[in-house]
Structure formats: structure tokens, C-alpha cells
Amino acid sequence: MQKIPPLIALVFAVECVLAIAMLLTGFLPYLPETLKLLFHAGRESSVPTWFSTIQLALVGLLFLCLFLYERRRGGTAPGRSY
């Protein structure tokens, strides 16, 4: 069995913590209102929303870097012969 890369394990762990925090803020009425607002998934200024936005931007940046690397190397897309 292959070992999970540390970065992937870290991102997965953060995703799990955010999911648990969102569930807890929805089911525990005695938490402070500020904490509930920070982890409310429907708000644009919540921690999960910002985390997902940054994660998506980093994935896009990674694909851009891969594209530029392949382009500089002279690679072509599968099925293209030019």
C-alpha cells in the first residue's frame, strides 16, 4: 500500500476539521454567535468558503504551471499531431 503524500494528508485533515466544525456549529446551540458565523457554510465570509476558494485557486495555478511547462517543453495534447 502506498503512503499518502504529506500535503494531501494535511489538506484532507483540514477538510475534515472544517466539516466537523460546520456540523458542530449547526447542532450545538450554546456556541457563541461569532463562532457560528465563522463556520456557517452559506456565508461568503466563512472559513470553509475561504478555504475552498484558496484551494481552488491553488489547483488552477498548478494546472497553469503544468500547462506552461508542457508548452515550453514542446509537448502536445493526446490526439494532436501538430
Domain assignment present for 1: no
Domain assignment present for 80: no
Domain assignment present for 78: no
Among positive and negative, which fits the CA dihedral 16, 17, 23, 26? negative
pTM for this entry: 0.62
Q: How many domains does the chain have?
A: 1
CA 28 to chain centre: 26
At 18-76, the pLDDT tens digits run: 888 888 887 888 888 888 788 777 777 788 888 888 989 999 999 999 988 888 888 66
Structural domain range at position 54: 6-73
What are the Cα distances from residue 4, in Å, to 9, 24, 39, 69?
6, 28, 28, 25
Domain assignment present for 54: yes
Domain assignment present for 67: yes
Please state, as a whole number, how many other Cβ atoms lie within 10 Å of the Cβ of residue 39. 21
CA 46 to chain centre: 14
